[in-house]
Amino acid sequence: MKKRILFVDDEPNVLMGLKRMLHSQRDEWEMTFAGSGAEGLALLEKEPFDAVVSDMRMPGMDGAQLLSEVMRRHPEVIRIILSGHSDLECTMKAVGPTHQYLAKPCDADKLIATVARALALRGLLTDEKLRSLITSMERLPSLPALYQELVRALRSEETSLSAVGKIIGRDPAMSAKILQLVNSAFFGLGRPVSTASQAVSYLGIDTVRALVLSVNVFGQFDPATIPAFSLESLWTHSLSVGTLAKAIAVLEKASKSTCEDSLLAGLLHDVGKLILVANLPHQYREAEALASHDAITVPEAQREIFGSSHMEVGAYLLGLWGLADDIVEAVAFHHHPSACIVREFTPLTAVHSANALDAVVPPDSRARSPHPIDLDHLERLGLVDRLPEWQAICRHPGEGGDA
């Protein structure tokens, strides 16, 4: 079936331009055009849409208000801003309800690719309720101690960009959100940013302070949600996998961007668990019990309960937020890279291997089932003989060098 896209802009000439520019998509998209936020909402009440692409500044109801209402009334709909205005006030209003922000003028290829990619991600999740839950998420839950440390740092007039970047970079949830924002056209950067430290440096301390203390782009995890779940263990594992994935990439003499993306993908590879445990704790607990009782893997048990595993859940959100394809791919396939069509060393290979190797190294009492190495994937890439070196570096990932 054709995907249904709603475009909203108060300027008739802009709408006419969009119609002409997207004429080639008429066989794949059913497109509707509205001249105001109110008209757009009325159309959404009458019939379903897969995505809304809205201008920011419009009389009456602006784009941020429109997308906030769309998120509240129709949480399953993908929400994109297409605007020529990017001042800080508009940005702060739109940060929450917007999945991605595109700047005018936007060429047809960029607009089509952004919308098509977001729509394609929906295929990762089969359960409509789960898809609606994730599409409506504004933030991920962070480790409470790190969140409080960040707040204290930002309230201090003596804090530094470096200190703030290091705090954010230690938390998967905060890293994902800050990179969503900095890589969008909200801030108009000309190059992709792949580390939290770079993101904070580009945004500046005042913008980060406003985002955290005023707009609340980060949120704390509530340990009472599921007492048996240890966010600290998940954080430790994620940081370990990210560090090891980067070390493996460095050892393989990958490009600097691949090394940085391997670190980030490793840090983010289990964000799907955060989503599930924070929003569906009872079902999450049920999946854990099923995996233990039936001696099956956690992803298999999650698919029994949710219809999808934490891999697809995490990849769906990160893709909606506009993170790079290599990151999304690594998160989506980090247990089974052979299921991906990749035929070269990418962050997926680094993260999969790091996750498997970290699971069999017992530096502490973390309770996780070992994840087997996908030897078919490594054989396809001609990398099986590299495993001994990766295993050796697993105990001392810093020896891989610095990208």
pLDDT of residue 363: 43
Q: Percent of the chain scored above 70 by pLDDT?
A: 93
Domain count, the chain: 3
Question: Is residue 56 situated within a structural domain?
Answer: yes
262 & 386 share domain: yes
pLDDT tens per residue across span 100-130: 999 888 889 999 999 999 999 988 888 889 9
Rounded alpha-carbon distances, angstroms, from residue 198 to 152, 161, 352: 21, 9, 25
188 & 115 share domain: no
- Of 289, 290, 147, the C-alpha closest to 222 is 147
Question: Is residue 133 situated within a structural domain?
Answer: no
Contact between 167 and 153 under an 8 Å Cβ cutoff? The reply is yes
Question: Is residue 338 situated within a structural domain?
Answer: yes
262 & 379 share domain: yes
205 & 290 share domain: no
Q: Using DSSP, state whether 359 is helix, strand or coil.
A: helix
User: Among the three residues 92, 124, 156, which one is the final residue of a domain in this structure?
Assistant: 124
Q: Which domain range does residue 13 map to?
A: 3-124
User: Among the three residues 124, 158, 180, which one is the final residue of a domain in this structure?
Assistant: 124
281 & 180 share domain: no
207 & 256 share domain: no
Question: Is residue 377 situated within a structural domain?
Answer: yes
Rounded alpha-carbon distances, angstroms, from residue 208 to 146, 180, 200, 212, 227: 15, 13, 7, 6, 31
When pLDDT is cut at 50, 70 and 90, the band that residue 193 belongs to is: confident
64 & 103 share domain: yes
230 & 169 share domain: no
232 & 371 share domain: yes
- Of 392, 375, 400, the C-alpha closest to 266 is 400
pLDDT of residue 398: 52
Segment 18-46 shows an average pLDDT of 95
- Of 5, 171, 184, the C-alpha closest to 77 is 5
251 & 369 share domain: yes
208 & 277 share domain: no
Rounded alpha-carbon distances, angstroms, from residue 361 to 231, 235, 395, 397: 19, 16, 8, 12
Inform me whether the pLDDT recorded for 50 exceeds 90: yes
Question: Is residue 139 situated within a structural domain?
Answer: no
Question: Is residue 201 situated within a structural domain?
Answer: yes
User: Where residue 242 sits, what CATH number does that domain have?
Assistant: 1.10.3210.10
pLDDT of residue 369: 42
User: Among the three residues 61, 89, 124, which one is the final residue of a domain in this structure?
Assistant: 124
User: Where residue 41 sits, what CATH number does that domain have?
Assistant: 3.40.50.2300
pLDDT of residue 366: 39
pLDDT tens per residue across span 215-256: 788 888 888 878 878 888 999 999 999 999 999 999 999 999
pLDDT of residue 403: 35
